Homo-oligomer: A and B are copies of this chain.
């Protein structure tokens, strides 16, 4: 049977970059950038004052002068006026552009002021004495272009736009950005035992839960989704699937992929034009996973119906496919690892996705406490877990203290 890594590799071969679209900056957070972002001006764009105090020429201090007449007050956001007397100073505020003729700022804390005369300008006529000499010319000035030259590439395509990226885009005046279109995903549940959440199930029926779960996971991962339900019936499936395979970027199905009498999905998918890439992965839970593609159309993830299996399938396969389709720079994704806090034995020659409760040790280790569910139908058992530890087919004994790849389904 196919190994997990090989299955994932095949899944990723079907990810094609979604087309870019322009969105206003205010709607770009969480999306994936599909353009480069260049510095429009040097950063900072002027010699930027970083402390409230006075701006002066360092040469005057070098010549032994410590007493300065203040020519004027300059607030942030006002055009700088050149210093007229090289032995004078300008009272100046954080964020202001350094006035020509000055090169150094002395902060208030290092100054003594003589009482102000009642001059027209609140600052003019005052004198300041430098009590603590600055260590160097240019002190408390963030010089023009220090961080980045004009034209520098600040962001490359493939970056996920978080608050820091949004702030940088704002700084360079990018009022709109090219981002990847959101993936459009059809979520299809099958299974005649399922009733909608708002309906009262008969004793042998259950509420549908995979569709709401997948919709929530997709929304958190930046995809748009729409829910469909089909009866376990070959005719219903072969009629219902083709429009979805043509209209969506991906179709996620759950249930109907075992070898049971009512598991028509693989056949229905073939009839609908989806070519299988694999059926079955050497893993537990989630072994009967079917994956295929309509050439030129949707990727099709037919996940097992058991909720824990569907959940593992989403986080191990679907999520990476969504990221790749958005053109996300996967090199920026950290593969996390966590250390088992207790030994685990698992004998079948399958990759075992072990639910674990995560904690963080003060020494920087991520610790994974095994929180196995009572089988792949024990959805409520997942509430005690934060993610899955991926334990490979060999060894069969996983010692306490050993670390393994971690797939998180909660934010840390």
Contact = CB atoms under 8 A, between A and B. Distances in A.
Contact of A52 (B191, B212, B259, B335): B259
B377 A216 contact: no
A380 interface: yes
A154 B108 CA distance: 59
5 tightest A-B CB contacts, nearest first? A77-B192, A52-B260, A167-B213, A77-B193, A339-B364
Nearest to A255: B95
A93 B220 contact: no
Contact of A363 (B46, B93, B198, B403): B403
Contacts of A363: 337, 339, 365, 403
A334 B358 contact: yes
Interface residues of A, number: 124
Interface string A216-254: 110110000000000010000000000000000000000
A164 B80 CA distance: 58
A50 B94 contact: no
Contacts of A171: 206-207, 209, 307, 379-380
Contacts of A25: 197, 212
A361 interface: yes
Contacts of A339: 363-364
A108 to B, nearest CB: 6
Interface of A: 25-26, 29-30, 39, 43-46, 48, 50, 52, 73, 75-80, 91, 93-97, 108, 122-123, 142, 146-148, 154-155, 160-175, 191-194, 197-217, 219-220, 232, 255, 258-263, 305-307, 311, 314, 334-339, 358-368, 374-383, 385, 403, 408-412
Contacts of A108: 259-260
